[in-house]
Amino acid sequence: MSGILDRELKIFEDLIKRYNLKFTFITYGDESDLNYDLNKNITVLPIYSIRKRSTNKLANFIKSFNLSKKLLSEINDFDLIKQNQLLGSWVAIMFKLHSGKALYVRTGYDMFLFSIKDKKSFFKKFLYFCLTQISLFFSNIYSVTSKSDHELLGKYFLGTKKLVIRSNWVEQNKSFNFEKRNSSKILTVGRLEEQKDYPHLIKSLQNTGLELDIIGEGTKKKELEDLAKELSVKVNFLGVIRNSELIDIYGGYKYFISTSSFEGNPKVILEAMSSGCVVLANDIPNNVEIISHLKNGILFSKKNDDLRKLVLSLPALDNEKNISTEAINYIKEFNSLEKASLEFYDDFISLTTSN
Q: What is the DSSP string of 257-282?
A: EE--S--SS-HHHHHHHHTT-EEEEE
Per-residue pLDDT tens over the stretch 218-235:
999 999 999 999 999 999
Are the beta carbons of 243 and 217 closer than 8 angstroms? no
Are the beta carbons of 23 and 349 closer than 8 angstroms? no
Residues (pLDDT < 70) of the chain are 1-5, 354-355
Helix axes 3-19, 243-250, angle to 10 degrees: 90
How far is the CA of 273 from the CAs of 228, 289, 331, in angstroms? 27, 14, 7
Quickly count: other Cβ atoms within 10 Å of residue 244's Cβ: 11
Look at residue 203 in the predicted model and tell me its pLDDT: 96
Using the CB atoms, write b or e for 152-182: b if 16+ within 10 Å: bbeeebebbebbeebbbbbbbbeebebeebe
Quickly count: other Cβ atoms within 10 Å of residue 44's Cβ: 17
Helix axes 267-274, 320-334, angle to 10 degrees: 120
Structural domains in the chain, CATH included, are 3-169+337-352 (3.40.50.2000), 178-334 (3.40.50.2000)
How far apart are alpha carbons 82 and 92 in whole angstroms? Answer: 8
Are the beta carbons of 197 and 300 closer than 8 angstroms? no
Are the beta carbons of 4 and 243 closer than 8 angstroms? yes
DSSP 35: G
Per-residue pLDDT tens over the stretch 261-286:
999 899 999 999 999 999 999 999 99
Look at residue 125 in the predicted model and tell me its pLDDT: 92
pTM, rounded to two decimals: 0.90
Look at residue 5 in the predicted model and tell me its pLDDT: 67
Helix, strand, or coil here: 122?
helix
Amino acid at 100: G
